[in-house]
Amino acid sequence: MNKLKLFPKIVMVIGAVFVIAGIVAFAGGIWVNGFVTDQLVAQNITTPDDASIPNAPVVDIPTALSMADIIQEHANTYTGGLSYAEMGRFAAADGNPAGTSNRDEALLDDNGNPVQNSSRNTQLTASGLVTSLSLSAMAIGLSYGILALGLAFIILGFVVAGFGYSLLGLITPDVAKRFGLNPIATNT
């Protein structure tokens, strides 16, 4: 094989690799988007009346973030704005949502055991739900980025492969004739 023809062929192979990588990335973006959206749909969540997007099924980024925001708002209202880490494990005898982690200061049930701090448990549940919805929104957004990256790789691959083919045309008479060009080198 003529060493002069090797470089353009390598460039064309690199272009083909970019096209294949772009197709794989694009397909991955479609799959991630579909998977996360299907998971949201399967949960059958509808935003409440007081959400920023009221009475809407949670199936995309705006509705997932709207639901996450209203869950956190409701949890903060119930807990007096305290986070999970700011509250004690047990309910306080005085009803303070901050509770206490001291068994001696805790509200006791009929058996004399400390009562769990329901405000803390609410904030823990809310934190898990908010995180899950936020990650779903982020995954959908990331899938759009992967789609764009895949498309960019496909375009770049065709450009690089075309560049390699053009280089080959400059040194190969048969290829050059297709474009009406005179090759700079002849077959040897």
- Per the structure, the complete domain to which residue 149 belongs is given by 3-178
Bridge partners of 38, per DSSP, are: none
Q: Answer whether residue 186 is part of any domain.
A: no
Burial of 73 (0-12, 13-18, 19+ CB in 10 A): middle
Q: Answer whether residue 31 is part of any domain.
A: yes
Is residue 56 within 8 A of residue 114, CB to CB? The reply is no
pLDDT at residue 181, as a whole number: 67
| Residue 96 backbone phi and psi in degrees, to 5 | -60, 125
Q: Answer whether residue 47 is part of any domain.
A: yes
Q: Answer whether residue 42 is part of any domain.
A: yes
Q: Answer whether residue 183 is part of any domain.
A: no
CA dihedral 47→53→55→61, nearest 10 degrees, is -60
Q: Answer whether residue 85 is part of any domain.
A: yes
Range ranked top by mean pLDDT from 3-12, 18-27, 112-121: 18-27
CA dihedral 76→82→85→89, nearest 10 degrees, is -90
Q: Answer whether residue 184 is part of any domain.
A: no
Return d(Cα 32, Cα 35) in angstroms, integer: 5
Q: Name the pTM for this structure.
A: 0.78
Contacts by 176-183 with C-beta closer than 8 Å and gap 24+? none
Per the structure, how many domains does the chain have? Answer: 1
Per residue in 132-186, pLDDT tens? 999 999 999 999 999 999 999 999 999 999 998 888 777 777 766 776 666 665 5
Per residue in 18-66, pLDDT tens? 999 999 999 999 999 999 999 999 999 999 999 999 999 999 999 999 9
